[in-house]
Amino acid sequence: MRIYHGSDHIITKPEYGKGKKNNDYGQGFYCTEDIDLAREWAIDVNRDGYVSYYDIDTSAMRIIYLGSPDYCVLHWITILLNNRRFELSTPLAKEAYQYLNQYFMPDLSDADIIIGYRADDSYFSYAQDFVNGVISVLQLSKALRLGNLGKQVFIRSRKAFKALVFSGSEGVLADEWYEHKRSRDLAARNQYQKMNKEAYVRGDLYMIRIIDEEVKAYDPRLQ
């Protein structure tokens, strides 16, 4: 697998045990298979950056791909709730957190790599709305596809870190790529705002219904 990491500096040897603990999937190294996405991650307004390239042999790795039929969007939400800072401000949100952890938290103990949605600020607002009962599973699934915000490859285990081979880098100019980054996020936000979040959609699964009906991961309505 060829993967890319965007940053304000070149990283020739990613270090196991480094990184923020409250990122989407926990402490580790976040990459992508999309070089343009990495270029956008690399820069900020008025700040240039770098994309580092890596090759990794995944043949002996345990990879959890959250987009596979083995998982649903609630698995992703549950992982997120266990890593990102999230205010459980309502009784429903607190009950939802406990229920999702009991029935939808995947076993990540021996995972080397996780591939799944990334949760920038716009994506994270979708997750918060779902847990608070504002949007349904169907609306959440649609929201995650808005704006083409992309997926990330999370290098998690010591074994996966050792397998990373640095294969080059490139400089990225903010003047060239910041507008791409801003436009992608803005598109997602605008499309999400256009969703009718106020209307109850009869038949859809909202968080309160999932709890009341004791919906589990194998329920076909979640696919």
Q: Collapse the DSSP code of 166 into the 3-class scheme (helix H, G, I; strand E, B; otherwise coil) and give the result.
A: strand
Confidence at residue 62, expressed as pLDDT on a 0 to 100 scale: 97
pLDDT for the residue 144: 73
Report the pLDDT value the prediction gives residue 53, as an integer from 0 to 100.
98
Give the per-residue pLDDT at 196: 61
Greatest Cα pair distance, the chain, in angstroms, is: 52
Q: Which parts of the chain register pLDDT below 70?
A: 120-123, 145-149, 195-199
- Retrieve residue 76's tokens: 């992703």
The stretches of 4-118 forming alpha helices (DSSP H) are 35-42, 73-81, 91-103
| Rounded Cα gap, residues 66 and 136, in angstroms | 19
Environment class of 121 (CB within 10 Å of its CB; exposed 0-12, middle 13-18, buried 19+)? exposed
Residue type, 55: D
